Each structure stands twice: as C-alpha cells, then as structure tokens.
Amino acid sequence: MEGIIENARVLFVAIVFVSLALDVKARRIPAAPPCDFPAIYNFGDSNSDTGGISAAFWPIPPPYGVSYFHRPAGRNSDGRLIIDFIAEHLGLPYLSSYLDSIGTNFRHGANFATGGSTIRMQNESIFENGISPFSLDIQTMQFDQFKARTSELYHQSELKLMQDNIFLDPSSARKLPRPKEFSRALYTFDIGQNDIAAGFRKLTMPQLRAAIPDIVDKFGAAITRLYQHGARAFWIHNTGPIGCLPAAMFYVSNPSKPGFFDKYGCIRSHNAIALEFNRQLKARVNTLRAELPHAALTYVDIYSAKYHLISNTKIYGFRDPFKICCGHHKNNIHVWCGQRVVINGSEIVGAACGSPAACISWDGVHYSQAANHWIANRIANGSFSDPPMPIAHACLKH
Ligand SMILES: *[C@@H]1O[C@H](CO)[C@@H](O)[C@H](O)[C@H]1NC(C)=O
Ligand SMILES: *[C@@H]1O[C@H](CO)[C@@H](O)[C@H](O)[C@H]1NC(C)=O
Ligand SMILES: *[C@@H]1O[C@H](CO)[C@@H](O)[C@H](O)[C@H]1NC(C)=O
C-alpha cells in the first residue's frame, strides 16, 4: 500500500517536473520581456521611404496616399508601408525622413530610405532611371552625421540647462533622440531590389549573377559600419519576388519561351536572381553573427511572405495579383499612377481603381496598403524570420 502511494508520489512529482519543463520550453520566447525599442532607424528604397524623395526632389503626386492619409504622404502606396505598420506594432510614431526639413520629429528615430536607392552607388541620375543618389553607403553616412550632431546638440542644451536653467531650444530638443537610446534602437533594412533592377537594365544575366557577391558585401559593410557606431539590433528584410511585379511584364522580350513564367505568372529568371541575392545575404548575415559579437541580427524572408500572398491571392481576399490599381496600361500606352499624358489630343490620366484594398499591387511596382498590412502582420510575429523571434524581441541574441 505504502509502496503504491510512494510510487504515485514519485509519478506525481515526475509529472509536475515534466510539465514545468515543457512550460518553460513552450513559453521561453514570451517569457523574455520585449525589447522596448525607443527608436527605429530605417535604411532602404521606395519600399520604406516615408518622405525622403518627396523632400529632396519633387513630391509624389495624388492619388498616392488616398486610402489612409487622404493626401500624398511621401510614400509609394495608397497608404501605409510595412515600416509604418512596424512602427505601429512597436508603439512608436511613423518615421520622419532625415531629408525632410518641415514638420519632422526624430525623437523616436529617423528614416534614411529614399525611393530608387541602391546598395551599390550607381553612375546614373534620378532624371535618367529614377536612381536615387542616396545609396546605402550615403544613408549610413547620413546616420553617422545625424547621431553625432543630435548628440552634440543634446549635450549643449544640457550644459545650458545647468548654467542658466534654460534649454537651448526646448522645442527642437524635444524632437531629437536621447544619445543613450541609439544603442537600444532597432535598425531596419529593406534594400536590394533596385540593384537587381539596374542589373536587368545594364548587365547580362551572367554579369548580374557575378555582381551579387559585391552587392551583398556592400550590404554587410553597411551593417558593420552601423555596429561600429553602436547599433545592436538589426532587422534585415531580404528582397521580394521582383519577377512578380506587374510592371515587370511590360518590357519582357520573349515571354512565349516555354518556362518563362512560373505557375503563378511570375518571371522565373527574374525571381531566380532575387533568390540568389537572398541566399547570399542570408549566408552573410550568418557570418556577421560571428563577426559582430554583440549584435542581434534577424534575417526576414520578405520574399516568401510576398510570394505566399501572390500565390494564394483568393484565400486572403485579394483579386488578381497582376492587376494594377493605379495607372493606365493599355495597348502599349503606359501612363503611371498620378501622371497625365496627352496622346493624339486626348488626355490620359493614370487614375486609381475603385477598390485599392482588393489589389495587391498599387502602381505596378509598389504594394497596396492592404498588401503591406498583410505582410507586416505575417512578419511581425517572427514566422518569416531567422531566428523565428517576434520583432518586439529582436534585440535578443541567439
Ligand atoms: C561608376 O563609375 C566608376 C568610374 O567610371 C566605376 O569605377 C564604377 O564601377 C561605376 N559603378 C557602377 C555601379 O557602374
Ligand atoms: C494617333 O493617331 C494616329 C493617326 O490617327 C494613329 O496612327 C496612332 O496610332 C495614334 N496613336 C496612339 C498612341 O493612339
Ligand atoms: C503569425 O501571424 C500570422 C497572421 O496573423 C498567423 O497566421 C501565424 O500563424 C502566426 N505565426 C506564429 C508563429 O505565431
């Protein structure tokens, strides 16, 4: 009898132990407190530009912004971008563009991304092919300057505060980050698509393939440089399925070749380049983990998130993934979203469709707000990340 009780007790203790162990294992991630990022510093191209190109050159015209801001808001979409949803998710305000001199607030970060940016500096101008002069190396230099100058201003105003109890310029100091918060911020990246697009224009496929190691190398150098300036948490998007962009179909030379398109209608050879870039980027992020011992590097598979959406359009309530909501593209006449062209005496307007929320593509190159929202929801919980950590925990080293 006693033996049975004793056995039962052992069993009970064992069960409690096992379930405790399971509990600890299952809850390991949520048990760690979130990082509580005080700021986001973003680097990239039009996929995450929140006003850079509009400030530096000319404003993005209506109907961009129509679904959310109800006016053009410097973004290449009808509304918010993935970076906006990331900011919302982390409880931070939308990022002001570093280049914008009007109405900006950098208290919780800054955005260095500009539409048309590349990783490698290109010998082209914005007036030729829309290539931004602010390549990734320039963006990281702008960050260095931003950090040095805001820290200097902050210390000056503190000194002034001690001397005569008056802030140098209270309103501008309130809109600058605290120097000690730079090392606790999240550093986000979404760049590479324009290096590939420039390659399609200027290089043969073998040449472009051969250039990928150099492109990835420059990406790694930018991350290393930011690390040397105190950055620790990195959230790195790979590049999306460029061969699935509806605008990619306008200029294809031999689409009748068998196997040119995949089963969803994306250009196979273009996506193959994006996949190769991503493979090498992922490998580089791995080596960076060894080189930068205090960095937490999260590699985010944006390609798979976008491709999953494009290949399951109906399930998620979207229409044809190749439909372009804004712009006029018929009989070889291409009028881009927001543009007006007079052809044979009649004006053609690149207008928006009636239901942007049902479209994946807003203007043929950029995703709709609805698609951006879908993608941001998928990536925020870490289901497309390596390591598979929610973005709120992206400061934890693995
Ligand atoms: C740009 O031009 C310089 C000097 O001619 C050259 O060294 C460099 O490789 C070029 N860069 C690209 C991306 O073509
Ligand atoms: C403009 O009109 C001419 C003459 O009618 C015609 O040949 C041409 O195709 C038209 N162009 C366009 C872009 O419709
Ligand atoms: C992440 O969120 C998406 C969308 O809400 C959901 O479908 C997916 O199962 C989640 N994944 C994890 C690992 O929580």
**CATH number for the domain that contains residue 89:** 3.40.50
Q: Is 361 a member of any domain?
A: no
Q: Is 343 in the pocket of ligand 2 (CB under 6 A)?
A: yes
CA–CA separation, 265 and 173 (whole Å): 52
Nearest to 301 by CA among 256, 349, 235: 235
Looking at residue 338, what is its pLDDT? 98
Report the C-alpha gap between 177 and 317 in whole angstroms.
40
Q: What pLDDT is stored for residue 125 in this prediction?
A: 86
Which tokens in the block code for residue 40? 């986001």
Which ligand gives the minimal distance to the CA of 309?
Answer: 3
Contact 100, 52 (CB under 8 A): yes
Residues 251 and 308 in one domain: yes
Q: Is residue 9 part of a domain?
A: yes
The pick from 333, 344, 347 for probing ligand 2's pocket by mutation, whose C-beta has the most ligand atoms within 8 angstroms, reads 344
Same structural domain for residues 100 and 198? yes
Based on the residue annotation, tell me whether 214 is a catalytic residue of this protein.
no
Let me know if 361 is a catalytic residue.
no
Q: Are residues 131 and 229 in the same domain?
A: yes
If asked whether residues 159 and 216 sit together in one domain, one would say yes
Alpha-carbon distance of 229 to 66, in angstroms, equals 38
Of the candidates 387, 397, 372, the residue with the CA atom closest to the CA atom of residue 89: 372
Residues 145 and 21 in one domain: no
* Residue 10: domain span: 1-31
Residues 152 and 281 in one domain: yes
Residue 372 counted as domain residue: no
Any domain includes 51: yes
User: Does 12 share its domain with 101?
Assistant: no
Residues 27 and 96 in one domain: no
Residue 373 lies in a domain: no
pTM here is 0.89
CA distance from start to end of the chain: 50
Three-state SS at 340: strand
Q: How far is the C-alpha of 334 from the C-alpha of 120, rounded, in Å? A: 29
CB of 32 within 8 A of CB of 393?
A: yes
Residue for token pair 């505060």? 161
Residue of 45, 78, 195, 363 marked catalytic: 363
Q: Long-range pairs for 155-163 at CB < 8 Å and ≥24 separation?
A: 155/179
Which residues share a beta bridge with 386?
299
The one-character DSSP state at 200 is H
Res 20: pLDDT: 40
CA atoms within 13 A on the CB side of 390: 16
- Do 69 and 120 share a structural domain? yes
Of the listed 46, 97, 132, 385, which one is catalytic? 46
Residue 212 token pair:
């990928």
| 165-194 pLDDT per residue, tens | 444 556 667 789 999 999 999 999 999 999
Sequence-separated (6 or more) residues with CB below 8 Å from residue 335: 327, 328, 329, 341, 348, 349, 350
The DSSP 8-state label assigned to residue 330 in this structure reads: E
The one catalytic residue among 366, 368, 385, 393: 366
Distance 381 CA to ligand 3 centre (A): 6
Tokens 């320039």, located at residue: 138
Count of CA atoms in the C-beta half-sphere (13 A) of 360: 25
pLDDT at residue 169 in the model: 59
Verify that 21 and 143 share a domain, yes or no: no
The pLDDT, as a whole number, for residue 257 is 84
Do 117 and 1 lie in a common domain? no
Domain assignment present for residue 367? The answer is no
Q: Which atom of ligand 3 is nearest to 388's Cα?
A: 13
Tokens of 73: 């808001």
DSSP summary character for residue 278: H
Query: Do residues 113 and 194 make contact, with C-beta atoms less than 8 angstroms apart?
Result: no
Q: Which amino acid is at 327?
A: G
> Tell me: the pLDDT tens digits for 30-48?
568 899 999 999 999 999 9
Residues 356-376: tens digit of each pLDDT:
999 999 999 999 999 999 999
Q: What percent of the chain has pLDDT over 70?
A: 88
Supply 226's token pair. Answer: 């930011």
Residue 186, helix vs strand vs coil: strand
Indicate which residue's Cα is closest to atom 11 of ligand 2.
344
- Across the chain, where does the E strand assignment appear? 40-44, 109-111, 186-190, 233-237, 296-300, 327-330, 333-336, 340-343, 346-349, 385-386
* Confidence at residue 195, expressed as pLDDT on a 0 to 100 scale: 98
Within the chain, which residues score under 70 in pLDDT? 1-31, 159-172, 398
Say how many CA atoms lie within 13 Å of 395 toward its Cβ: 18
Spacing, Cα 251 to ligand 1 middle (Å): 25
Query: In angstroms, rounded to a whole number, what is the distance separating the alpha carbons of residues 142 and 189?
Result: 15
Q: Is-catalytic flag, 77?
A: no
Q: How many CB atoms lie within 10 A of CB 90?
A: 21
- Same domain for 156 and 277: yes
Residue 346 is assigned to a structural domain of this protein: no
Q: What angle do CA 86, 88, 89 make, to 5 degrees?
A: 65
Sequence-separated (6 or more) residues with CB below 8 Å from residue 10: none
Sign of the C-alpha dihedral, residues 241, 247, 251, 253? Answer: positive
* Alpha-carbon span 134 to 183, nearest angstrom: 24
Q: Which ligand is nearest to the CA of 207?
A: 1
Nearest ligand, CA 341: 2
- What is the 221 CA–ligand 1 centroid distance (Å)? 18
- The count of domains in the chain is 2
Does a structural domain hold residue 116?
A: yes
